[in-house]
Structure formats: C-alpha cells, structure tokens
A and B are shown apart, each in its own frame.
Chain A
C-alpha cells in the first residue's frame, strides 16, 4: 500500500494518522495522571494499564506516520516536538482529569466511540491502519467493560457519587458532538476507504451511551452547547499546559536514549 500511494495521498494519510496518534497520546497522558493518585491500589494499577494501552496505541500511529514521512522524523518527534497548535486531537481527550467520576464518565463516552470507530477502521484499505485498529479494539473492549461498570457503580452508588457523575456528564456532553464531525481531510479519507465516516457512528453511539446512562439512573443532557476545533488545532487552554509537562523532559534532552 505504502509503495503505491502517490505523494498527495501519502501526505493525507500521514496527516490523518498523526491525528489518531494525537487522540491516543493525549488521552493516555490524562489517564496516566492518575498513576499513584487513584482511590486505591488496585484501581491505580488498572488505570495505569489503560493509560499504557493508549500510549502504546499512539506509538503505533506515530510510528506509522514516521514511516510514511520518511524524512528522518521518529515517533518521538511527533509526540514531543509539536506545539499545541499543531496537535489535532479531539477536545474531549484533553479535558483535565477532574475527579474520579469525571475521568470515568469521559472514559465511557470515549470508549464507546472508539469501539465503533475501530470496528470501522479495521476495514480500512490501508493495511497498517487496519492492523492497528484490530489490535486496539481488544483493549478498547476491556476499557469499556471497566468504564461502563464504574459509571453504573457511581450512578447507582451514593447521593454524592451520583451527583458527581451527573455533573461530569453535563460538563462533558458538549464536547461529544465533535466526535462525529468530519472535516475535509476526514471526508477524503472516508471516501477513499482509508478512514471512517464518523457521522455514521453517531446513532449507534447515542443508543449505547443512553442505554448505559439510563441503567445508571443518570440523566442524558440536552444537546445544547457544542465546542469543537481540535482537528483544526484550536484547543482549550488545558492542552498547552499538559504538553508543557509531557514534553519538557524530552525537549531538555532531545534525542536522549536510555
């Protein structure tokens, strides 16, 4: 596949792949912030595992991007040497971890999205993207099992756990619309059978998410406000702060190996 792509398509696939890497590395970093901060030891290990799954996924996407770029850049250059304006992750990934309920509600919304997204990406005509999706979807099924269960526990738990989960849901809901937008690049990729038509996933996503929320006796928020811009490099103020922390060691010692 790589050999037969013309330069223009190759550049488009490269840009598209970097975005998927951005989604994964940003989400992974947010989950990793729980490492040694989780409510108890077992959950700490579980969250760290999930974080590592996302970071591993980012490595696969960035590694493939580096291969496509073929200009000496490596996966680390994509992760550590780009500024927040160059990052094109979906905004929902970069929201600060908040409290435990916030983290789990976000995780649920993202996991259900990833489940349907990766299912489609597995059918990509680009063999590498299809292979990465096939590997990742197994992890995502496990992530979803956890996040779904936690949202049920929180929703059906105490007054406090329920109100925290509901507040998280209300705060995050406006960021979910962006998941189903397609810009020009994504339309081009979906049209070529390389990418995924996100818009077509919205119905399955809504059905599944709403069923879980209903079971958790949480209220599905109204579709009111919407925020987007991640795919264009317009981010919340939080991403810059996050990248500062994530990138500072690498930037202080570029290319260092250990």
Chain B
C-alpha cells in the first residue's frame, strides 16, 4: 500500500461555534470517511475544532492565474463600487 493509490482531500475546520469553516490543509486518504478520521488525527489533536469538512481536492474548481485579467482587472477602474468613494455629509460621523 502506498500513497499513490490514495486520493487527496482538502480539510476545513470550524474552530468555534459561530465561526466559519477555514481551510487548514490537505491529506491523503482512501475515501471521505477515512479522510475525516485522518483530519481528526492530523489537524485537531490540540483541541482546535468542533466540526470538520472534507472535500475531494478534485472537486474543487479553482480560478487560474490566466483568468485574473478578465476576472479582477475590470473592477480596478470602478471605484464607485467601494463605500469609501462616497463623500459623507458631516452629520454622519460614524459609518
């Protein structure tokens, strides 16, 4: 048996109730069930979590470096999308 037969999983951990699950890393496992157990052993040994999500890395669709021109550049010249663009009347102190 070797890691070559295993799949890669991404691990998300909720550290406290009320917080979002955060990506903490990845690991190899045979299937979801085993990934969950390994996540427990690898990422929650010091009491870091109250809930774990495991997701097959293959199932994550990620944006590519090449996409950045079409994805993000267009917003650079649209400052009116930011709240700071607008001048507030003096009467509104705390916004």
Q: Answer whether A and B are interacting partners.
A: yes
Q: List residues of chain A with CB within 8 A of the CB of B45.
A: 49
A180 interface residue, CB < 8 Å from B?
A: no
Bits for A211-241, please: 1 = Cβ < 8 Å to B, else 0.
Answer: 0000000000000000000000000000000
Q: Quote the shortest CB–CB distance from A160 to chain B (angstroms).
A: 10
What is the 8 Å Cβ interface bit string for chain A, positions 136-159, against chain B (1 contact, 0 not)? 000000100110010001000000
- The interface residues of chain A lying within 8 Å CB-to-CB of B6 are 40
Q: Find out whether the CB atom of A42 lies under 8 angstroms from the CB atom of B28.
A: yes
* Cβ-based interface call for A248 (8 A): no
Smallest beta-carbon distance A161→chain B, Å:
8
Do B30 and A45 have beta carbons less than 8 Å apart? no
Shortest beta-carbon distance from A206 to chain B in Å = 26
B41/A42 in contact, CB under 8 A:
yes
B33–A42 CB distance below 8 A? no
**Is A46 a contact partner of B28 (Cβ separation < 8 A)?**
no
Interface string of A105-139 (1 = CB under 8 A from B): 00000000000000000000000000000000000
B2 and A39 contact, CB distance less than 8 A: yes
Q: Which residues of B contact A (CB under 8 A)?
A: 1-3, 6, 27-30, 33-34, 37-38, 40-42, 45
Most chain B CB atoms below 10 A, which of A39, A43, A149, A153 = A43
> Which residues from A are CB-within-8-Å of B1?
39-40, 100
Chain B residue nearest to A46 (CB atoms) is B41
Name B38's contact: one of A39, A45, A100, A142 (CB within 8 Å): A45
B27: chain A residues at CB < 8 Å are 41-42
Q: Which of B2, B33, B40, B41 contacts A40 (CB 8 A)?
A: B2
By CB atoms of chain A within 10 A, which of B1, B40, B42 has the most? B1
User: Known contacts A40-B2, A42-B27, A100-B1: does B38 contact A145 (CB below 8 Å)?
Assistant: no
Q: A45-B41, A45-B42, A100-B1 are in contact. Are A40 and B34 (CB under 8 A)?
A: no
Tell me the smallest distance from the CB of B87 to a CB of chain A, in Å: 55
Nearest CB on A from B76, distance (A): 42
Q: List A contacts of B3 (CB < 8 A).
A: 40-41
| A42, B38: Cβ atoms closer than 8 Å | yes
Inter-chain contacts of A49 with B (CB < 8 A): 41, 45
Distance to closest chain B CB from A101 (angstroms): 10
Q: Is the CB of A149 within 8 A of B33?
A: yes
Chain B nearest CB: distance from A155 CB in Å? 14
B38 contacts A46, C-beta separation under 8 Å: yes
For the complex formed, measure the closest distance between the CB of A52 and the CB atoms of chain B, giving whole angstroms: 9
CB-defined contacts of A45 to chain B, threshold 8 Å: 38, 41-42
List chain A residues, Cβ under 8 A from B30.
153
